Amino acid sequence: MDRGNNWDWEPGKREIGDLAAWSGRYDMVYAPCVSPDGENIAAIVKTGDDEWSVCVNGRTWDARFEKIWNLMFLPDNRLIAMVSDSAVWTVAIDGKTWDNWYEFVWSPVFGAESGRITVAAQAGLRYFAVTEDTPWANDFNALTSLTTTRDGQTSAAVVQHGSFPEADIDKFQEGYFTAALNGSAWDSCYVNAWEPELSEDGRHLAAAVRTSIYNYTIAIDGRTWDKTFSCVWEPKFNPKDNSVTAPVKVPDGWTIARNADPIWQGRYVQLWHHMYSPDGSRVAAIGAPEYGKWTIVENDRPWRIRFKDLVTDAVYSPAGDRIACVGKSDGKWHVALNDFIWDTPWDMAWQPVFSPDGRHAAALVEKDGKYTIAVNGRPADITFAAAWQPVFSPDGGRLLIKGVLPQSMGGQYCRYVLKTENVAG
Amino acid sequence: MHAIYELAGGFLVWAALVIFAGGTVIRMAWLAATARKKDAAVFHYFSFYYALRSILHWIVPFASRNMRLHPVMTAVTFIFHLCLIITPIFAAAHVILIAESWGGGWWYLPDAAADIMTLTVILGCVFFLIRRISKKDVRYLSTAGDYILLVIVAAPFLSGYWSYHQWSGFEIAGIVHMLSGELLLICIPFTRLFHMILFPFTRGYAGSEFGGMRSARDW
Amino acid sequence: MKKQNNLNNTQNPGQIHDIGIKRGAGRLSREKIASVLEKLIETEGGARLSAYINTCVHCGLCSDACHHYLSRGCDPRFSPAGKVKQTVSTILAKKGKVSPEFIKRTCEIAFTECNLCRRCQLYCPFGIDISYLMLFIRRACHLLGVVPQYIQDTAHSHSATMNQMWVRDDEWIDTLQWQEEEARDEIPDLRIPIDKQGADIFYSVIGPEPKFRPQLIYQMAVIMHAAGADWTLPSAPGWDNSDMCMYTGDVEMTARLKKVHFEAAIGLKNKRIVMGECGHAFRSVYDVGNRLLGWKMPPLPTVHAISFYSELLEEGRIEIDHKFERPVTFHDPCNIVRGRGLHETARYIINRVCKTFIELEPNREHNFCCGAGGGVINCGPPFKTKRVESNKVKADQLAAAREKGAEVVIAPCHNCHGGLEEIIEHYELGMELMFLSDILYECIKKK
């Protein structure tokens, strides 16, 4: 997949689509989205009575549908939507529908590196996933929490295997839930299964499970850890050796465990969304060392900074030597990088994006309805009525900003390429 | 007899005071430590302002709806508790004894007032006893301990009253007065009488949650 | 104890058949009970439990606070302290050494004879939180596996689907699209935006809305549209803010549910959560779930629909086209009045929108519970008679308002609707129940 090498990185501004003008052409225009390379903007448009289509850079798809939702660009710049005709649903990609139609499709997931897409589907009250128009070989009584690998080749979900009579509480507790990998469910079923997680190579699947209504543990490829806990959160595979860890609740607090044994000494009021550095040598999590005080904990060492309201969107730099996150205190949103909070508080901040060399971090931020990009803490001079997350060029020297200008400046969707050195704080 | 009098008026007074103070401190410390361990959130939501607001509404007569719904109970409860606390502290005999033993002393009640207040406490106990027996919901809740506590509370006042009026056997009544007063003190940290110490905390926490978190009144 | 037999009660406690209670207790032995309860007291029975139990002077002043007690001829077994005596106090006194029969009765008391409405906390001079004590007992029942069938089934639904009604992921989205389609017949450019990143408002509802009352989603969409609000609902689980696990004592599941709910909003970068007209869900999101997860306050500002409507009216974002004609009365839901002090806010809306408003007596923080709250209605049909008999006092309260002319009862809470519906039907009160959104939908200028 093109990782941006062939994108236009020439510094400057280009106007791509006049979103405001579309409103004059259609009765309704909504859910605009832009392609990763910023070259396309698309929206769902109403073309007639109960007739909908998609407009891309001012051109309307030939196809018309009864309903459209979930319009989005994939990492490979393909434009997809869930579409319905005659009360059945399928996926349309760049205006062309899949051959197979279902009673419903939802929850699109895609390989971050390939764009290969999988959706959840239902037909005849049976549930399964469909990857690039090919359904799983098996279907289930229910399916949720669909996920896929970075290459999009493998997909997994939590499934209900078999049915139990309505309100039969004893039957339910016998266990009807498990995880399925590419349509093959594990042999063992649990009272519940949640948060399925695939190894990077797609060969292993882990999930948080409840083996009784009191006992929580992690199951990997259908085998549970040999200890249970009063609670666990989502497991993660270490990219280095495919070992599995998860936040677990032990009597004196939360910690990280591998194979059911705590690997951190620290005990926390809360600990979740742990993540590995790309080389697997470090592990970090969002945590609360004290009640109501949130931070990042890396390798069992909490940062010094604390947020009162929440921490979210933690991310490792590509080299794994830096962590960025979004935090909130007293109602204001902040971006933090390696235990330092960027100066300006915002009304909202999105997950920071690192340059491939990890030297720079940029984040989409918003204040008073005006969006901008903060690079290494410094807000860019330009503000937008709407904007998307920025992208660094492969060498990190350029920054692609995608935004819709305010009405006072024309209201067009523009693509800006800036020299990182000019905008970085 | 004299030896018992000496003991009750000397060592046992100290012992009772130490047990009362020590028991109260230890029990409160245990509660605080347990709260830190198992109910840590309590400390995060405690608000002095709202705690005080709630406490005030419950120590001012008729400031809460429930007090207005039960006017007799409210009146008796307030007068009873006032007399119960004020009488022993400001009874002339107590103040003079303290002044003689340790020096100092403070203002004291005229004898007639103390007399009426003592009688009020005794009648209060009788009222509570009758209420406990006659109201079926209260009777249902009552345990043997509740009746015994009433006796423990009434005893020093009854014996004090007896002894003050020098009715027959008043010397024994005097000893009973001292012993039962000491027993009452000792019982405070270890029985439901501890509600006098816990009241500001339980009420204050309710007030903190209602006022600080829920923007609602709790009276 | 003998005296109990002389007490006036219409339905004998303990006579109800519930397989959750019966089978659950059937699996217990005295040893198992003792070991579970001892461990619970050791690990979770803290200072609050001790302070509450030991502070209570058995004065009975809480009795008159309880609608169960008042409705059942002042049967002392139904007084708040009476329920504590029969359950927590006995368990603590016996150090957990009680029989399976005792647990059955305890379960029935904690789940169906107390609505956790916290009214008694306003009547206890010490502010003893009886709902905390009853929840402690429900926690014990959960750990012992003795929970009424229907509410346990709801807790199972929560765990499997993250909503309380076994609504599948696709059914939820389909319902939203269906309601959008319906609403477009009335307002052609109306939208129910799904998964809108960065929207100001994350709107969440309870499971029964898509299942039984989809028109409420429709109505809210109309109100949002009229107000020009920037709002969204998530397509994925997290859309349901309700929580029966809080009431079954499954606090671990409550934590998980609230995590999914908050993270749905956080993930969509929505600035605040507006919740539909539900009381218990508000308690779970505002008061309980956040604390279980370590958040002192909800991580995003969380407001009940009442606050939201009042804000729209105050800011002039919605306008009243005509006032609601029929005389209304208002039932203050426990979890948003004693639980959030929204009584005056609700009255502001009613006075703006309705022509004639008649108060229930008592009202505001002192209103009586609907009898359904605290998961009591979720214990289902086996307890229906018991529920309505336990809330005659509510029927009397409503009847008094009806005498003054009230025709419509407004209750901005789903559980209250469930409870009041039963009461209105059983006592043949002939009053109509409405949500505030029903009234607003009828009266605002639709743009």
How would DSSP label each residue in B34-69? HHHHH-THHHHH--HHHHHHHHHHHHSTT-SHHHHH
C141 and C36 share a domain? yes
Domain's final residue, options C279, C314, C349 = C314
The answer to whether residues C337 and C205 belong to one domain is: no
| Pick among C61, C72, C124, C337 to test the B interface (most B CBs inside 10 A) | C61
- Considering CB atoms only, which of A167, A210, A272 is closest to C159? A210
**Between chains, do B40 and A292 touch, taking CB under 8 Å as contact?**
no
Question: What does the pLDDT read at residue B145?
Answer: 96
Q: Which residues from C are below 8 Å from B217, CB to CB?
A: 122, 341, 365
In a domain, C55, yes or no: yes
Does residue A104 carry a pLDDT above 60? yes
List the single residue in C with minimal CA-CA distance to A249.
Answer: C252
pLDDT, tens digit (0-9, with 9 covering 90-100), for C154-171 = 999 999 999 999 999 999
Asked if A290 reaches chain B (Cβ–Cβ under 8 Å), the answer is no
B142 touches chain C (CB under 8 A): yes
Last residue of a domain, one of C147, C173, C207: C147
- The proportion of chain C whose per-residue pLDDT surpasses 70, expressed as a percent, equals 97
B38 touches chain A (CB under 8 A): no
> Does the distance separating the beta carbons of C57 and B146 come in below 8 Å?
yes
pLDDT at C82: 98
Cβ of B140 within 8 Å of Cβ of C55? The answer is: no
Mean pLDDT of all residues belonging to chain A: 96
Name the residue of chain C whose CA is nearest to B218's CA: C122
- Which residue of chain A has the CA closest to C293? A270
Q: Do C128 and B202 touch (CB under 8 A)?
A: yes
C168 and C293: one domain?
yes
Q: Give me the pLDDT at residue C5, please.
A: 38
Q: What is the mean pLDDT of chain B?
A: 95
| Distance, CA of B214 to CA of C286 (rounded, Å) | 9
Structural domain harbouring C51: 2-147
Average pLDDT over residues C61-81: 98
Q: Name the pLDDT band for C7 (thresholds 50, 70, 90).
A: very low
**CB–CB contact B37 C46 (8 Å):** yes
Q: What is the mean pLDDT of residues C408-420?
A: 97
| Closest residue in chain B to residue C287, using alpha carbons only | B213
pLDDT of the residue at B9: 82
- Distance (Å, whole) CA C160 – CA C167: 10
Nearest CA in chain A to C298: A309
Give the model's confidence band at C14: pLDDT under 50 very low, under 70 low, under 90 confident, else very high: low
If asked whether residues C337 and C239 sit together in one domain, one would say no
Going by C-alpha positions, the residue among C384, C18, C416 that lies closest to residue C206 is C416
Q: Residue A37 — pLDDT band, cuts 50, 70, 90? A: very high
Asked whether residue C424 is assigned to any structural domain, the reply reads yes
Confidence band, pLDDT 50/70/90 cuts, at residue C12: low
Using an 8 Å CB-CB cutoff, list chain A residues near B40.
291
Q: Do A230 and C252 touch (CB under 8 A)?
A: yes
Report pLDDT for B104.
85
Of A176, A173, A134, A133, nearest to A158 (Cα)? Answer: A176
- Calculate mean pLDDT across residues C432-443: 98
Q: How far apart are CA B43 and CA B20, in angstroms?
A: 26
- Amino acid, single-letter form, for residue C96: G
Q: What's the average model confidence in pLDDT over C374-401?
A: 97
The mean per-residue pLDDT over the stretch B188-199 comes to 95
Same domain flag for C109 and C243 = no
Closest B-chain CA to C293: B41
The beta-carbon neighbor of A291 closest among C191, C269, C296 is C296
A291 Cβ under 8 Å from any chain B Cβ: yes
Chain B residues with CB-CB distance to A308 below 8 A: none
Identify whether C322 is part of a domain. Answer: no
Contacts of A107 in chain C (CB under 8 A): 169, 235-236
Same domain, C248 and C381: no
Q: Please check the confidence at residue C282 and state whether its pLDDT lies above 90.
A: yes
Q: Do B42 and C47 touch (CB under 8 A)?
A: yes
Mutation pick from A213, A333, A347 vs chain C, by most beta carbons of C within 10 Å, is A213
pLDDT band (50, 70, 90) for residue B176: very high
Residue B89 pLDDT greater than 50, yes or no: yes
In a domain? residue C319: no
Whether C153 is in a domain gets the answer: no
Q: Which residues contact B204 (CB under 8 A, 6 or more apart)?
A: B46, B48, B50, B51, B52, B54, B55, C127
Q: Which residue of B has its CA nearest to C60?
A: B138
pLDDT, one tens digit per residue, over A377-407 is 999 999 999 999 999 999 999 999 999 999 9
Chain B CB within 8 Å of residue A292 CB: yes
Over residues B50-72, the mean pLDDT reads 97
Mean pLDDT across C231-240: 98
Q: Per-residue pLDDT for B55 more than 60? A: yes
Which residues between 41 and 80 in chain B have a beta carbon less than 8 angstroms from any beta carbon of chain C?
A: 41-42, 44, 54, 58, 64-66, 69-70, 73
What are the structure tokens assigned to C391, written together?
Answer: 């809330």
Task: State the smallest CA–CA distance between residue C229 and chain B in angstroms.
Answer: 26
Residue C240 lies in a domain: yes
Q: Residue C231 belongs to a domain with what CATH number? A: 3.40.50
| Same domain as C136, residue C167 | no
3-state secondary structure chain C: CHHHHHCCCCCCCCCCCCHHHHHHHHCCCHHHHHHHHHHHHHHHCCHHHHHHHHHCCCCCCCHHHCHHHHHCCCCHHHCHHHHHHHHHHHHHHCCCCCCHHHHHHHHHHHHHCCCCCCCHHHCCCCCCCHHHHHHHHHHHHHHHCCCCHHHHHHHHHHHHHCCCCCCCHHHHHHHHHHHHHHHHHHCCCCCCCECCCCCCEEEEECCHHHHHCHHHHHHHHHHHHHHCCCEEECCCCCCECCCCHHHHCCHHHHHHHHHHHHHHHHHCCCCEEEECCCCHHHHHHHHHHHHHHCCCCCCCCEEEHHHHHHHHHHCCCCCECCCECCCEEECCCHHHHCCCCCHHHHHHHHHHHECCEECCCCCHHHCCCCCCCCCCHHHCHHHHHHHHHCCHHHHHHHHHHHHCCCCEEECCCHHHHHHHHHHHHHCCCCCEEECHHHHHHHHECCC
Check residue C13 and give its pLDDT.
Answer: 56
- In terms of domains, do C173 and C126 share one? no
CB-count burial class (<10 Å; 0-12, 13-18, 19+) for A126 = middle
The answer on C179 and C141 residing in a single domain is no
pLDDT at site A1: 59
Distance CA A413, CA A22 (A): 12
Closest approach of A291 to chain B, Cα-based (Å):
8
Average pLDDT (C421-437) is: 98
d(CA A148, CA A146): 7
Q: Do both C135 and C199 map to the same domain? A: no
Taking CB atoms and an 8 Å limit, are B202 and C126 in contact across chains? yes
Kindly report the nearest CA distance between residue B104 and chain C, in angstroms: 35
The pLDDT of residue C447 is 78
Domain-ending residue, one of C147, C173, C201: C147
Residues 146-205, chain B: which have Cβ within 8 Å of C?
A: 146, 192, 194-195, 198-199, 201-205
| Chain A interface disruption, residue of C169, C171, C197, most A CBs within 10 A | C169
| Residues A131, A135, A136, A139, CA torsion sign | positive
C89-120 pLDDT per residue, tens = 999 999 999 999 999 999 999 999 999 999 99
In this model, does residue C10 exceed pLDDT 50? no
Q: Name every chain C residue with its beta carbon within 8 A of the beta carbon of A348.
A: 198, 269, 271
- Interface touch C365/B37, C-beta < 8 Å: no
Q: What's the rounded Cα separation, in Å, for the pair B139 and B126? A: 15
Q: Is the minimum CB–CB distance between B3 and chain A shorter than 8 Å?
A: no
Q: How many domains does chain C have?
A: 3
Taken in order of first residue, the domains within chain B and their CATH numbers are: 2-213 (1.20.950.20)
Residue C347 domain-assigned (yes or no): yes
Q: Which residues of C touch A269 (CB under 8 A)?
A: 294
Show which subunits contact A, needing at least 3 CB pairs below 8 angstroms.
Answer: B, C
Dihedral sign of CA atoms C301, C304, C305, C310 in order: negative
* Helix H or strand E segment including A94: none
Residues C307 and C172 occupy one common structural domain = yes
The tens digit of pLDDT for each residue in A360-371 reads 999 999 999 999
pLDDT of residue C8: 38
Mean per-residue pLDDT, C196-217: 97
pLDDT at residue C411 is higher than 60: yes
A256-289 residue pLDDT tens: 999 999 999 999 999 999 999 999 999 999 999 9
Chain B CA closest to residue A293: B44
pLDDT digits (tens, 9 = 90+) for A214-256: 999 999 999 999 999 999 999 999 999 999 999 999 999 999 9
According to the model, what pLDDT value does residue B207 have? 97
Give the pLDDT confidence score for residue B3 in this predicted structure: 85
How far is residue A135's CA from residue A118's CA, in Å, rounded to a whole number?
Answer: 9
Instruction: Return the pLDDT at A2.
Output: 63
* Residue B122 Cα, gap to closest chain C Cα (Å): 18
* Residue C214 within any structural domain of the chain: yes
Distance from CA of C432 to the nearest CA of B (A): 28
